[in-house]
Amino acid sequence: MKIPAIPANEEKRLASLHDSGLLESGVTDRLDRLTRLAKRMFNVPGALITLVDETTLHFKSTAGYPKESLPRNISFCGHAILCADPLIIEDASRDERFADNPLVTGDAHIRFYAGHPLHLPDGAVVGSFCLIDKQPRSFSDTEFDSLKDFAMIVEDEFAVMSAATTDELTGLFNRRGFDSLAKFAIFGARRRAEPLTLAWIDLDNFKAINDTWGHAEGDEALKSMASVMAASLREADLQVRYGGDEFAIIFSDTDEQGAWIAMQHLVEQVEAWNLSSGKPWKLAFSWGLSEFDHDGSGELHPWMKDADKKMYAMKQQNSRAR
C-alpha cells in the first residue's frame, strides 16, 4: 500500500482548511442533495464530499456510504488532493498503490474510485468530490466532465460556507466570526479603556458521547451547550463555537472576577439542564479565563493561548478528580 504523500504547501493548506470553518459547520441540505444526485446519475453505490485534515479524512456529505471518519494514510482522497486532475482508479485491486489497502481488502471492498480535488477560494486543495463502487468499472469522457461539474458546484458552496460567520449547527458565531469580532472588541475596549475577558471552553467527555450514542447525539450535545450559553449570558457577550467541541466567550466591559461569576452561573445552568434533559449523557465542560492585557501587544493569538492553557489545566484537574 502506498501512503499518500504530504503536499509541499501542507501547512498553508491546513491553515486554509481550518480557517474556512468547513470542519465545524454542519452538513447542508444542498451538499446532501448533490451527493444523492451524483449517486443516482453515475449509478454508483456511494458519492462523497470529503475534507482531508492533518491525520483524518472527514466526510462532509455522503450518499450510500457511512459518515465515520477514516485515517488519512489509507484514504484514496489523500492521493486525490495531490493531483491537478481527477484521480480515476478503475480497479483498485490491480493498482499497486491500493491493492493491499484495507479499504480494498476489507469490508468496504472498494474497487472503483473517481475523485476530483476540491479547492477553496484561495486555491488550497482541501478534499475531493468522489464516487466509489465495489465493482471495477470504466469512466467515460462524458462522466469525467460531469464529475468536474459536480466539483465546481461544491467549490461554489464551499466559498459561501467559508465566508459565513455563523455556525450552522449551533447558531453561534463560528471561527471566522470570532476572529473578526474579537479584533473589533479589542479595538473598542482599548479605545474606551474597558476590561475585556476571554473564556475558553472545551466539552468534557464529548468523544465518549459520540462513540457511545452516535454523532447525532454528539450534535445534540453541541446544540444544547450553545442553547444554555445563549440563555445564560448577556447579548453583549460574544458567544462562539470555535470548532469541534470548543467554545469561546468574550465578556465585554468585564474583568476576570466578573467573568468568573458569569462562568459559575453557566456551570449551574448546565447542571440544571442535565437534571431535566432526559438524555443518557450529561453536559460538562472545562474552562479557562484570561483578562485582556491593555499594556501588551494587543494581538489576539497570545490572549487565546493563555485562556486555552488555563482551560487545559482545569481539564487535567477534572480528569484526575474522576
* Residues 22 and 158: beta-carbon distance below 8 Å: yes
Domain spans of the chain? 10-163, 175-321
Alpha-carbon distance 24 to 214, whole Å? 17
Enter the CATH code of domain 175-321. Answer: 3.30.70.270
Identity (one letter) of the amino acid at 8? A
* Residues 157 and 29: beta-carbon distance below 8 Å: no
- Residue-wise pLDDT for 195-239, tens only, equals 999 999 999 999 999 999 998 999 999 999 999 999 999 888 999
pLDDT at 28: 75
Percent of the chain with pLDDT over 90: 80
C-alpha distances (whole Å) from 73 to each of 56, 57, 148 are 8, 9, 25
Q: Residue 8 class from Cβ within 10 Å (0-12 exposed, 13-18 middle, 19+ buried)?
A: exposed
Residue 173 cell numbers, joined:
458565531
Alpha-carbon distance 7 to 13, whole Å? 8
Q: Which residues sit opposite 142 in a β-bridge?
A: none
pLDDT at 320: 75
Please check whether the domain covering 10-163 is classified as CATH 3.30.450.40.
yes
pLDDT at 14: 95
Residue 215 cell numbers, joined:
454523532
pTM: 0.74
Phi and psi of 120, rounded to 5°? -90, 170
- Residue-wise pLDDT for 44-86, tens only, equals 999 999 999 999 999 999 999 988 899 999 999 999 999 999 9
pLDDT at 27: 64
Q: Which residues of 153-192 are buried (b: 16+ CB within 10 A; e: fewer)?
A: bbbebbeebbeeeebebbebbbbbbbbeebeebbeebeee
**Which residue has 474597558 as its cell numbers?**
194
The residues near 303 (Cβ < 8 Å, ≥ 6 apart) are 198, 290, 292, 293
pLDDT at 299: 86
